[in-house]
């Protein structure tokens, strides 16, 4: 059962979003039961979709759990989503209702409800099986607008069980993170994890290394972060011994959502005398592999398959590739946490998952004889991971082209010490067109969201093209 842990928790187990409200798990459960009753009294029924502004706030937990109790399918909304992307997500997922306070400038025409903290002791639908959808998470592809990945209750429950076993994660733990609550990492692992296992969680509203160190010093036993966060923590640890000691304190530092560089592993090992455990996942599959709590991490490797997960490598024709550290192939995954499909996009679902249930991740990796996986890159350069956020080059290019002064645009991810990759755009202006780089950055931030904004823009007279007229991105160089 997905939220089994919440039924038997006691008030010592805290849910904290470091702002206005601290709740214990008993209050989250009662508030959520109240919310579920309210949703059902409004005429919503199991399976209906409901969007939820995923503010880093305790009420997000109440809304999410209440929706699960009522069997509603939550579409979390990024509070800093751009106007155009918001219209896409709401149009594509057609929720019956939008829950929570809309951020300034993000009005919409759908019915909406504020979340409030009520009290109830019943309201949970007990009859919903593992195949019932729980979440629709929007995720970018190489081209086009993001697609909604439908995750079921079973997908989530099995994944959290497997992670609990991999990390010896129990209700005695106290998790700390500062991740956003609209993606797998912060939402499924960082929020539903503690709520289903019954352990304490503190969600910091924004990532500040000092605030993280303070929490690590006093109570946190586990930290979840993306590599950009570990990079910033490593920087601080190198210059400040007190800081390094704080990083050495929790029993587990977990990194995921993008590769953690060898340099960061080494710097944290040197400064704090400890290792970082990596795990590897995708929105569509949840977490696939993890370095186990009792094992010494091998930098560059993301661990073995979780319980119930099968892994294999395939070549360009999707034929199984040979095993061994020397063999490289696309990573494929099969198991109980592979998603139900993309909302309303059967063709895209069929392209990503074969009839035998294998999901093609697009990641390139090698599998050691002992089952450990190393992720070495991606099949397409048109998917960018920046600060742990996945961004499609195509969506940014399309957005730039929609600007009246822009004639053509090409977007690439360039290596970046802090963000892993930074979004860089090459732009050809319309004859007589006037736009500055800052204006175009603001244009993308406003339309799609600040996470998708280019960090650098270079104006060129023409884009390099091959004989077929296709832009040759490989020849584009980093702006100087």
For residues 307-366, which are near ligand AMP according to CB under 6 A? 361, 363
Q: How far is the CB of 227 from ligand AMP (least distance, A)?
A: 8
Do the beta carbons of residue 393 and residue 141 sit within 8 Å?
no
Q: How far is the CB of 185 from ligand AMP (least distance, A)?
A: 8
For residues 372-411, which are near ligand MLC according to CB under 6 A? 387-389
φ, ψ at 322 (rounded to 5°): -65, 155
Does 184 engage in binding with ligand MLC (CB under 6 A)?
Answer: yes
φ, ψ at 349 (rounded to 5°): -65, -45
265's contact among ligand MLC, ligand AMP, none, with CB below 5 to 8 A by partner kind, is none
Does 302 engage in binding with ligand AMP (CB under 6 A)?
Answer: yes
φ, ψ at 241 (rounded to 5°): -65, -35
Q: What angle do CA 340, 353, 74 make, to 5 degrees?
A: 25
Pairing mode of beta strands 97-99, 49-53: parallel
Contacting ligand AMP (CB under 6 A), which of 39, 81, 282, 410?
Answer: 282
Does 381 engage in binding with ligand AMP (CB under 6 A)?
Answer: no
Contacting ligand AMP (CB under 6 A), which of 57, 88, 153, 378?
Answer: 378
Contacting ligand MLC (CB under 6 A), which of 282, 321, 409, 412?
Answer: 282
Does 280 engage in binding with ligand AMP (CB under 6 A)?
Answer: yes
Does 258 engage in binding with ligand AMP (CB under 6 A)?
Answer: yes
Residue with smaller CB distance to ligand AMP, 124 or 284: 284
Could you give the CA distance from residue 346 to residue 381 in angstroms, rounded to a whole number? Answer: 24
Contacting ligand MLC (CB under 6 A), which of 135, 176, 179, 393?
Answer: 179
Pairing mode of beta strands 73-77, 49-53: parallel
Q: What is the DSSP letter of 353?
A: B
Do the beta carbons of residue 38 and residue 51 sit within 8 Å?
no
Residue 85's beta-bridge partner residues? none
229's contact among ligand AMP, ligand MLC, none, with CB below 5 to 8 A by partner kind, is ligand MLC
Q: How would DSSP label each residue in 189-237?
A: IIIIHHHHHT-EEEE-SS--HHHHHHHHHHT-SEEEE-HHHHHHHHHHH
Residues in touch with ligand MLC (CB under 6 A): 80, 179-180, 183-186, 206-207, 226, 228-229, 256-257, 281-283, 387-389, 441-442, 445, 450-451, 453
Q: Which residues bind ligand AMP (CB under 6 A)?
A: 139, 184, 256-259, 278-283, 302, 361, 363, 375, 378, 385, 390
């Amino acid at each position: 059962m997905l939220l089994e842990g919440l039924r038997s928790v006691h008030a010592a187990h805290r849910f904290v979003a470091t702002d206005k409200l601290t709740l214990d798990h008993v209050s989250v459960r009662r508030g959520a039961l109240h919310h579920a009753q309210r949703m059902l009294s409004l005429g919503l029924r199991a399976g209906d979709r409901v969007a939820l502004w995923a503010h880093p706030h305790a009420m997000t937990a109440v809304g999410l759990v209440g929706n699960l109790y009522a069997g509603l399918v939550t579409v979390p909304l990024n509070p800093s989503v751009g106007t155009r992307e918001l219209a896409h997500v709401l149009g594509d997922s057609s929720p019956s209702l939008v829950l929570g306070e809309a951020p300034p400038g993000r009005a919409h025409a759908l019915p909406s409800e504020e979340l409030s903290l009520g009290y109830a002791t019943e309201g949970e639908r007990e009859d919903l099986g593992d195949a019932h959808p729980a979440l629709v998470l929007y995720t970018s592809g190489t081209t086009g607008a993001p697609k909604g990945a439908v995750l079921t209750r079973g997908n989530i429950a099995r994944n959290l069980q497997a992670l609990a076993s991999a990390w010896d994660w129990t209700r005695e733990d106290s998790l700390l993170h500062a991740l956003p609550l609209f993606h797998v990492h912060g939402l499924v692992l960082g929020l539903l994890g503690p709520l289903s296992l019954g352990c304490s969680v503190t969600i910091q509203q924004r990532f500040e290394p000092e605030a993280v160190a303070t929490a690590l010093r006093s109570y946190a036993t586990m930290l979840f972060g993306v590599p950009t966060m570990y990079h910033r923590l490593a920087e601080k640890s190198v210059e400040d011994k007190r800081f390094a000691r704080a990083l050495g304190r929790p029993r587990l530092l977990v990194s995921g959502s993008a590769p953690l560089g060898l340099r960061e592993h080494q710097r944290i090992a040197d400064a704090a005398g400890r290792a970082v455990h990596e795990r590897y996942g995708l929105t569509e599959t949840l977490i696939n592999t993890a370095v186990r709590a009792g094992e010494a991490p091998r930098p560059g490797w993301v661990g073995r398959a979780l319980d119930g997960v099968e892994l294999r490598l395939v070549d360009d024709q999707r034929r199984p590739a040979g095993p061994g550290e020397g063999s490289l192939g696309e990573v494929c995954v099969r198991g109980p946490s592979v998603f139900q499909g993309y909302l309303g996009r059967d063709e895209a679902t069929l392209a990503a998952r074969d009839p035998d249930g294998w999901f093609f991740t697009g990641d390139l990796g090698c599998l050691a004889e002992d089952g450990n996986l190393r992720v070495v890159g991606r099949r397409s350069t048109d998917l960018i991971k920046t600060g742990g956020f996945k961004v499609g080059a195509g969506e940014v290019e399309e957005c730039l082209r929609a600007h009246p002064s822009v004639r053509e645009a090409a977007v690439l991810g360039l290596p970046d010490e802090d963000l892993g990759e930074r979004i860089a755009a090459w732009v050809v202006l319309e004859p007589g067109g006037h736009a500055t780089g800052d204006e175009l950055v603001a244009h993308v931030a406003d339309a799609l969201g600040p996470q998708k904004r280019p960090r650098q823009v270079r104006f060129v007279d023409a884009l390099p093209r091959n004989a077929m007229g296709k832009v040759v991105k490989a020849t584009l160089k980093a702006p100087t």
